[in-house]
Structure 1
Amino acid sequence: MFTGIIEQVGSVASLVRQGNAAKLVVFSRKYFEGTKVGESIAVNGVCLTITHIRRDYVEFDLSPETLKKSALNELRISDKVNLEKALLVTARLGGHIVTGHIDGVGEVRETVRSDGGIDLFLAVPSDLMNYFVTKGSIALNGVSLTVAGFRQGLLRVSVIPLTLKQTTLGTLSAGDKVNIEVDIFSKYIEHHLRREEGAEMLDDPMMRVGFLPMGWIEN
């Protein structure tokens, strides 16, 4: 579990394809001190397991599912990546609860400078849009952000100067792909409502014997 507060920016040392999978090596000076093989680190918001450590370099195995569901397959050598170690139970939750399980990949359509910060306008997969509300939470490339609003089907987030300085979001431009994770609580709420809806349908005696609620048919 993570918070979406980026601790360090690293760089891609190598990304080697192995069939449908890959091995990713990330460099970050002194950031990996004290970490161990088997621990989790969020790389651009994707929860990955350390498989090997060599001083300032760590290696991760990327499964076909990870490459399919995230934008990590877009990485190139020397690309900057956001890094965050797993949350300690004694630490403050500075952002919001981030699992590191990517829900989809969005695309930057426009960046607008505003008072030292940037407004990002994003095209988001249609099946994710219902999870977002103005002032709600979203994680972009692992960064905890607040949804600022919507415009013509695009989602808008405002990134403050400090976040631009401490993360890779300031390098984004139109056409770039970003990892998106929706607020986990919105998914729990949706799941609960779907179960309640299903329970109500099962309470209908006609539904229990296989009839669907078609409503009245007018001739």
Structure 2
Amino acid sequence: MFTGLIEEVGHVASIEKRPDAIRLSIQADRVLEDAAIGDSIAVNGACVTVTGRLEDAFSADIMPETIRATTLHSLQAGDSVNLERAVKAGGRLGGHFVTGHIDGTGKIVRIVPKGNAYYLDIQASPDILAGLVQKGSVAVDGTSLTVFHAGPQFFTLSLIPHTYAHTVLGSKKVGDSVNIEGDILQKYVQNQLTAGKSDDSGSLTYDMLKENGFNTSLNK
């Protein structure tokens, strides 16, 4: 579990691509202070397991599902990446609940300076957009952000100067792809509301309330 508060920007030291796997080596500093083999670190929002450790770098093996669902397959040596260690129990949760399980990718279609902020429009699939709400939370490349606008084809973020300067989002350009993870709490609510529904079960009835333990006599 992560918070979406980026601890540092690391750099890809090397990347070994195989037909169905990738081995990443990432140079870092802060996230290595207490990192051990088997620990979890979010790389551009994707949770990976530390499988190797040097004084100034760690390595991770990327499985096929992560390759398919994220932008990690497009990384090259020298690229910058957002890094965050798993959150400690009892620590401050300054962002929101981020699992590190990417829902899919999106594409930056517009970047507009606005006062001291930057507006980013990100195009995404209908499945991803359906899980976003205005003023709700979303993780983009692992960065916890607030949805400024949620539309049918894209959503908009407003980046403060600190986020723009201290994450990889500040170096992104129009046309670049990003990893997206929706709010896990919203996903659970959405799943509960839609689970088991058939085409003719959209209306709420007294019989349905009784079946679920509600005392309907109070409303008669």
* Structure 1 counterpart of 2:87, one-letter code: L
**Contact residue 14 and residue 25 of structure 2 kept, 8 A:** yes
- Bigger CA drift: 151-160 or 84-93? 151-160
- Is residue 2:85 matched to residue 1:85? yes
Q: CA RMSD in A?
A: 1.6
- Is residue 2:29 matched to residue 1:29? yes
In the alignment, what sits opposite 1:205? none
CA distance in 2, matches of 1:93, 1:20: 35
In the alignment, what sits opposite 2:9? 9
CA distance in 2, matches of 1:141, 1:33: 22
Give unpaired runs (5+ residues) of structure 2: 202-220
Shift in Å, 1:30: 4.9
* Structure 2 counterpart of 1:162, one-letter code: H
Query: Cα 1:47–1:170, aligned 2, differ >3 Å: closer, same or farther?
Result: same
Between the two proteins, what is the percent identity of the paired residues? Answer: 41
Mapping of 1:67-216 within 5 angstroms? 67-150=67-150, 153-195=153-195, 197=197, 201=201
In the alignment, what sits opposite 2:208? none
**Contact residue 113 and residue 119 of structure 2 kept, 8 A:** yes
| TM-score, normalising length: structure 1 | 0.88
> Secondary structure, in 3 states, of the residue corresponding to 2:197?
helix
**Contact residue 30 and residue 56 of structure 1 kept, 8 A:** no
Number of residue pairs matched by the alignment: 201
* Structure 2 counterpart of 1:91, one-letter code: G
Shift in Å, 1:195: 2.4
- Is residue 2:66 matched to residue 1:61? no
Shift in Å, 1:145: 0.3
> Secondary structure, in 3 states, of the residue corresponding to 2:41?
strand
| TM-score, normalising length: structure 2 | 0.87
CA distance in 1, matches of 2:172, 2:109: 10
CA distance in 2, matches of 1:31, 1:41: 8
Give unpaired runs (5+ residues) of structure 1: 202-219
**Contact residue 7 and residue 84 of structure 2 kept, 8 A:** yes
CA distance in 1, matches of 2:76, 2:178: 14
CA distance in 2, matches of 1:96, 1:19: 35
**Contact residue 138 and residue 181 of structure 1 kept, 8 A:** yes
**Contact residue 147 and residue 156 of structure 2 kept, 8 A:** yes
In the alignment, what sits opposite 2:41? 41
